[in-house]
Amino acid sequence: MQINNLEKFRAKMSSGRLCVGTVITLSDPVVSELAGDCGMDFTWIDAEHAPFSLENVQGHVMALRGTDCAPLVRVAWNDLAILKPVLDLAPAGVIIPMVNSAEEARQAVASCKYPPSGRRGCGVRRANRFGQIPFDEYLKISESEPLVIIQIEHIEAVRNLDEILQVPGIDSICIGPFDLSGSMGKLGQTNDPEVVAAIEEICQKTLAAGLLLGTASGPYETWKQRGLHWIALTSDCGGMISNYNSIVEKAK
């Protein structure tokens, strides 16, 4: 939908461009609006780790409507009750964390799709512009959006990856390097050979399955070589810290 810039996000990736974005952790929607105005392709609104209310998330999604930037929302857990109100905010995509099996992946997809293909509850508000889009037209649109993004961030998920990738309805796989390394007893050691091997396996199999591939961790060149489609290169706080440190260093 034009309301969430998903068409623009998809078109950029289809053209072979690596889309770049930022993680949003601060409550003020101004940081999302600035990200869009500065040319970010997407935002990763982190409702898993940031102290967001549903109203905060809605503000960040709405702040991007006048930009070319697509709002992705990472929810707190793979749970129908958590996903349902976020889906009704009409984000471009939802990132669902810690999906470790094909059955969990099927549950995630089903939570994002209306019956008969899924189990999403129907209480449409913003997605059909509060009733201005005919319901039949909206239902057709809902078959392909928002993007269902499954996060692979545990060694158990890597072991079950072949089965996960066969689940219909998944649009993208997102790699979580830190939690993945933690599940291997090596938290934060993302350059460890065994962790790297697991990451490479995820990348290769995801691309072979024809799915979009993304992450929120650098370095940029390494991930680009792995064939990534989208990557969050910084966060709102990270961008401020980097710029503030640079300003202070120059002033001294």
- Assign 150 to helix, strand or coil: strand
Alpha carbons 48 and 43: distance in angstroms, whole number: 14
Q: What are phi and psi of 42, to 5 degrees?
A: -155, 160
Report whether the peptide linkage leading into residue 116 is cis, meaning its omega lies within 30 degrees of zero. yes
Pick the closest to residue 19 from 39, 41, 43 (CA basis): 41
Q: What angle do CA 55, 57, 61 make, to 5 degrees?
A: 115
Alpha carbons 72 and 147: distance in angstroms, whole number: 9
Extract the tokens encoding 215: 């992450």
- Assign 3 to helix, strand or coil: helix
Residue written as tokens 């934060």?
A: 188
Q: What angle do CA 187, 50, 43 make, to 5 degrees?
A: 95
Residues that are catalytic: 49
Pick the closest to residue 19 from 68, 78, 91, 83 (CA basis): 68
